Structure 1
Amino acid sequence: MNATGRRPGEPAPDGGDEGKTEVNIEASAADDKTVIVSGARAPSLGMTATNGVLPPGTRLGEFEILGLIGEGGFGIVYRALDTSLDREVALKEYMPSALAARVGATQVQVKSSRYESMFRAGLKSFINDEARLLARFDHQSLVKVYRFWEANGTAYMVMPYYRGVTLKEALKSMQRPPDEAWLRALLTPLVDALAVLHASNCFHRDIAPDNIILLEDSHRPVLLDFGAARRVIGDMTQALTVILKPGYAPIEQYAEVSSLRQGPWTDHYALAALVYFAITGRTPPPSVGRMVSDSYQPVAKLAAGRYSDRFLRAIDHALAVVPADRPQTDRQFADELGIKLDAASAERAAGVADVADARRAGATARRRVRWVVGAGCVLAAAAGIGWFVPKMMSHQPAALHVQRAANGPDVAGSAGSAAIAASAAATASGAASVAASPPAVVVPPPALPPFTPAGEFARIASLADPSVVVKVEVPLERAVVDRDRLRFIVTSNRAGYLYVFAVDPANQYLQLFPNELDRDNRVVAGKRVVLPRAAWPMQAGEPIGENHFMAIVSLAPRDFSSLDMAHDSVFGSLSSAAQAAAAAQRTLSASPFAGVPSCGSEAPSCPVAYGAATFKIDVVGSSK
């Protein structure tokens, strides 16, 4: 059987001409518009389904279709339930409507044998150039592919179910152009994501405002799908309007000319065009016309005085019509924009100086608790943090007093618990189709929020990979000083490594787990981890007030050495000065307080994904 469901040589069911291929691809592309749909859980999500759309309740392996998110000329995206992991996902089906149709319950069949070569080329690209490619990368501003497979004459891929708005809609809702700080915060994770792609000689080639989603809680930008199948089919039909977006596509995407080869500069052009559009309200002139007569107006002149000259000139440089005249590397582009890539943060001279200063300042601010273990053996123990270790074992003496040093400023406030509700990554057409709240579009803040430990805990949770689901049970959310013990239970749907951090009302920041007494932090998927363990029980103590906690489950061991934590006690501690130094290294898409994966040189790969959950316990003076 071939992709049409017919045996080789069998006539097409429509009895159509097997000669010249004539497919109205451009008409299909016209339907590929950005669609913002309601975040409600109604099966149809407010979309009108066509006959080719799978109905709610359809099972594809372990995935159950819940409703339609969006459909276009090249495929369909559904909201689905992963029944094995009990989570909502976005499921994308390859379905080029001009070439194929639904036959029976789930089968996809090519309409005519003359379309088969295009259908199969698109199918191959859908799997190899989109699903398999995206599955290779693990970056928080790139769509993650959990699984992909072939069945029913077509192919599917499963992605996180992101919730948010497209950049196109966010810009449309603004009363005035975004300022430079907002644009820098947007560009930093996007350029960093492109650097990850380009390091593997991969290029996105479809960057535009409707192909970027701003996540609902964290406002982190995510580059949506590559639209690989759409480009392949467009190439075979010479329908350039299908595969290119005038104003965003550089000249090298219009023709395969050796002197105009594609590279990182290709994506730089589209990203700069996006900024040009955000600032001026219009796209640059199409690059094809610019090669004949360049009518491009430099943004350095159009927006002079409203943005720094350096920033505007960087945009103009990246929009040079000839590829060789643009920045050639991601590092060069980032440097010209005045942004820092996450991978280079440790190399910054200012950062090194800040860490050294924090180390010296932290040496005098660390507080210690000591207790006697056995006969005369004294070990450094936990800092205060509203909890202390009363006894190591039932026969051991009680803990000695706490030596409290001068506190740093009391940093109050919390951003609250921010968890990403996922929604659909992209329509099968290559344009974005994302779930959003029904009211007006919410415009993201211009830059990072002010640092507070509790707020950063919440931000880290919002930046986490939605495929790693971490849950924390707290039996006692209100603890009485000198009476109640700390207890919480952590579970994760993925196996990995558990890290727990806490901060008390006096701004004492500790790594509770793993610690000097308990280093085994490996967790099994679905298995409950009860903490603290018997070797290090913790009892409520002063200062009274809210104690904030964060539990991270990482697929790989994590390294927190950049925080310059002190390890002269059972628990690692982070002084106020060290907190400030680390806070200065934050970016929109990453936090040094979340650490970095560390697998060793012998590991074949090192996954960066982690999940996180925040919780709090209120320590009070009495039970009244």
Structure 2
Amino acid sequence: MDKDDQPERTVTKPQARVVDPPPDSEATLIRPPPAPKPPASPAPRKDSGNQLPVGTFLGEFEITELIGEGGFGIVYLARDHSLQRRVALKEYMPSALAARTGPLEVSVKAERYAETFDAGLKSFVNEARLLASFDHPSLVKVYRFWEANGTAYMVMPYYEGVTLKQKLKEMGAPPNEAWLLDLLGPLTEALLVIHADQCYHRDIAPDNVMLLKGTGRPLLLDFGAARRVIGDMTQALTVILKPGYAPVEQYAEVPGMKQGPWTDVYALAAVVYYAIVGKTPPPSVGRLMNDNYEPLSQLAQGRYSPKFTAAIDRALIVKPEERTQSIEELRHDLGLDTMAPAPRPAPAPAPARPAPAATAAAAAPSAPAKKGAMVAVAGLVALVLAGGVGYALLGRDAPAPAPGAAAPAPPAPEPASAAVATAPPPAPVAEPAPPPPPPAAIEARFDPLQDFERVAAGQSADFGVEAATAKPQFRIDRDYLSFTVKSTREGHLYVFLHGSDGVLVQVFPNAASRNNKLRAGQTITLPPPQSSWAMKASGPAGTDHFIAIVSAYPRDFGAIGLKVQDGFGMASAEAVAEAARAQGGAAPLFLGKPVCSGDCVDRYGAALFSSQQIP
């Protein structure tokens, strides 16, 4: 990339102290500093089969434990070193079609499997994209997904709890009506969300519903899109259907028996039937010829209200056209559409009603920027940024680069889309201006780290970006920061840094290194060797958070409001919060916008990473 050999000069920029993330109701977060990073491609253990060994890094995610392995994927417990939390990382691995052929690489076992493998891979990615777009506390949230190494990955919160199947076994007796309604309330709400986008779960069963630890809130698991596609292509219905829960239309797409909302209605009602009776309804295919279904209104008479049992019986009618047609109808039949949302106590043996808590924020908000002074260094450059100084940037004094496609030093602010994060920080700084909404409220809601995460979560599936510091810790006043970035596709590289004092910096490109083109497969080290700019750790002790973006097109980040000082784009927390208030859009602020003409398709990849400064 840039090969400047001009003399070193010194500039200063912000840094972050340690920010402990708040407790997360869905993902247990890790607060200790990250452990030293092992080699990027560790050799797999001989006895690990298709599993990646503990210690493997996939971008900023370090595998720490195997959670489970099925016929279509492997789920790992991993440490997210960028946001310092535990996550679940799912790898697409259909073991009947493919195997691991290198430290990370996955390949089909034979060419005749390639078409089926690729179809499953596409469905895996599409499922991840859908889940990332949904937002409901009873739906699995996807933080990030990408393709690499011949396969694909998705990163989710690390959920802890028991499956509904396990819970029913532990209870030892059928749950009462109040407990079941408390279960069905959040589940039907979640199904309403996905059905609104013409997306159907099609695999609802007791082992695909988790009751979260602490709250008991139900969570829908495993849409299993890749499994269904592979099963369809290989005609392996036993792989993709659960007899007793699968309605007849899932066995064959024939005229008059299309799948739709009524498909999930049947499966959910079968779950209730199983909870009460202790067995599933008879398989739906057999019921077409000889319907020996025993109505719940008879089997559970006297123990549940006639309204409740009639609603479940109607939802389990074998012919799709005669069945309850939608989740809205099912909620109406059950009386859920008239129930107050407040939690209700559930009589024994049912536990307390699950509280539908929203997903907690991933990191605590930044403190307001501190004031400081500009100090001349070597008579050529200055310590800049009013605030806590994290790194002394050694660079050349240069005018701000023109805001062009390949030299993206930040231009003056201009309207662009932005995101307002949803986790308000404590004790926001109040603004004196009375008109609503007050700027202080917007600043309280905006968290750059959450914005970084939204950028990473929305990246294109065909981009794979990896970034990491040379080591996880840097000693203040002694060590120089160095990090690497690699992309599977060529593009334009941008790197931003957020310090815990609220100051943000566009680290790259800058006035000393304007050429930000990155070739496909190229690993770039920044600052470049023998560059005219460097980054010396200068405190305070804490953690710096970075995001590296590789974009198919040059990007304009003018809406952030970065001001060029000594060749680097910088902004305070107040300025960035004001930019977010002014934008009020749905797109992340730090995504910027592509600089292209015509109907260009915006494609980019991103990686989050961090470094810790120690005394």
TM-score, normalisation: structure 1: 0.53
Q: Structure 1 282/57 Cα, relative in aligned 2: closer, same or farther at 3 Å?
A: same
Choose the corresponding residue for 1:525, options 444, 448, 457. Answer: 448
Ranges in structure 2 where 5+ consecutive residues have no aligned partner: 1-28, 36-45, 368-418, 450-498, 503-580, 590-615
Choose the corresponding residue for 2:217, options 197, 217, 220. Answer: 220
How far has the Cα of 1:262 moved from its partner? 1.0
Choose the corresponding residue for 1:465, options 355, 359, 372. Answer: 359
How far has the Cα of 1:512 moved from its partner? 11
Distance 1:231 1:512 in 2: 52
Are residue 496 (structure 1) and residue 494 (structure 2) matched?
no
How far has the Cα of 1:496 moved from its partner? 2.4
Q: Is the contact between residue 176 and residue 349 of structure 2 (CA under 8 Å) also seen in structure 1?
A: no
Q: Is the contact between residue 92 and residue 152 of structure 2 (CA under 8 Å) also seen in structure 1?
A: yes
- Partner deviation per Cα, 1:594-618 (whole Å, 9 max, x = no partner): xxxxx999956899xxxxxxxxxxx
Ranges in structure 1 where 5+ consecutive residues have no aligned partner: 1-38, 352-414, 416-441, 449-458, 474-493, 503-510, 531-598, 608-624
Among all aligned residue pairs of Structure 1 and Structure 2, give the percentage whose two residues are the same amino acid. Answer: 56
Q: Structure 1 243/49 Cα, relative in aligned 2: closer, same or farther at 3 Å?
A: farther
Distance 1:605 1:444 in 2: 42
TM-score, normalisation: structure 2: 0.54
* Paired residue type of 2:160: R
How far has the Cα of 1:529 moved from its partner? 8.9
Q: Is the contact between residue 170 and residue 443 of structure 1 (CA under 8 Å) also seen in structure 2?
A: no
Q: Where does residue 113 of structure 1 map in the other structure?
A: 111
How far has the Cα of 1:233 moved from its partner? 0.8
Q: Is the contact between residue 63 and residue 77 of structure 2 (CA under 8 Å) also seen in structure 1?
A: yes
Q: Structure 1 470/444 Cα, relative in aligned 2: closer, same or farther at 3 Å?
A: farther
Matches within 5 A, 1:70-85: 70-85=68-83
Q: Is the contact between residue 49 and residue 68 of structure 1 (CA under 8 Å) also seen in structure 2?
A: no
Q: Structure 1 171/64 Cα, relative in aligned 2: closer, same or farther at 3 Å?
A: same
How far has the Cα of 1:498 moved from its partner? 5.6
Q: Is the contact between residue 203 and residue 263 of structure 1 (CA under 8 Å) also seen in structure 2?
A: yes
Distance 2:420 2:122 in 1: 32
Q: Aligned residue pairs: how many?
A: 360
Distance 1:501 1:126 in 2: 39
> Could you say what secondary structure the match of 1:104 adopts?
coil
Are residue 447 (structure 1) and residue 353 (structure 2) matched?
yes
Choose the corresponding residue for 1:308, options 305, 308, 313. Answer: 305
> Could you say what secondary structure the match of 2:64 adopts?
strand
Q: Where does residue 324 of structure 2 map in the other structure?
A: 327
How far has the Cα of 1:446 moved from its partner? 4.3
Q: Is the contact between residue 187 and residue 219 of structure 2 (CA under 8 Å) also seen in structure 1?
A: yes
Matches within 5 A, 1:72-221: 72-128=70-126, 130-221=127-218
* Paired residue type of 1:162: Y
* Paired residue type of 2:353: A
How far has the Cα of 1:188 moved from its partner? 0.4
Matches within 5 A, 1:370-381: none
* Paired residue type of 1:247: G
Q: Structure 1 500/72 Cα, relative in aligned 2: closer, same or farther at 3 Å?
A: closer
Matches within 5 A, 1:39-78: 50-78=48-76
- Partner deviation per Cα, 1:172-204 (whole Å, 9 max, x = no partner): 101210000100000001001111111111110
Q: Is the contact between residue 118 and residue 233 of structure 1 (CA under 8 Å) also seen in structure 2?
A: yes
* Paired residue type of 1:496: A
> Could you say what secondary structure the match of 1:327 adopts?
coil
Q: Where does residue 613 of structure 2 map in the other structure?
A: none
Choose the corresponding residue for 1:261, options 254, 258, 261. Answer: 258
How far has the Cα of 1:329 moved from its partner? 2.2
* Paired residue type of 1:69: I
Q: Is the contact between residue 191 and residue 341 of structure 1 (CA under 8 Å) also seen in structure 2?
A: no
- Partner deviation per Cα, 1:223-281 (whole Å, 9 max, x = no partner): 01211111111111111000000000000000011201111110000000000000000
- Partner deviation per Cα, 1:474-498 (whole Å, 9 max, x = no partner): xxxxxxxxxxxxxxxxxxxx96256
Distance 2:108 2:118 in 1: 9
Distance 2:584 2:256 in 1: 40
* Paired residue type of 1:520: A
> Could you say what secondary structure the match of 1:156 adopts?
strand
How far has the Cα of 1:136 moved from its partner? 1.7
Q: Is the contact between residue 366 and residue 501 of structure 2 (CA under 8 Å) also seen in structure 1?
A: no
> Could you say what secondary structure the match of 2:87 adopts?
strand
* Paired residue type of 2:223: F
Matches within 5 A, 1:303-452: 303-340=300-337, 445-447=351-353
How far has the Cα of 1:468 moved from its partner? 3.1
How far has the Cα of 1:87 moved from its partner? 1.0
How far has the Cα of 1:121 moved from its partner? 1.1
> Could you say what secondary structure the match of 1:260 adopts?
coil
* Paired residue type of 1:447: R
* Paired residue type of 1:445: P
Choose the corresponding residue for 2:228, options 198, 206, 231. Answer: 231
Q: Is the contact between residue 179 and residue 446 of structure 1 (CA under 8 Å) also seen in structure 2?
A: no
How far has the Cα of 1:501 moved from its partner? 9.2
Of the two structures, which has the highest relative contact order with CA contacts closer than 8 Å and spacing of 6 or more? 2
How far has the Cα of 1:331 moved from its partner? 1.6
More moved, 115-124 vs 180-189: 115-124
Distance 1:201 1:601 in 2: 31
Distance 1:189 1:230 in 2: 26
- Partner deviation per Cα, 1:500-527 (whole Å, 9 max, x = no partner): 899xxxxxxxx99899976512233367
Distance 2:358 2:350 in 1: 18
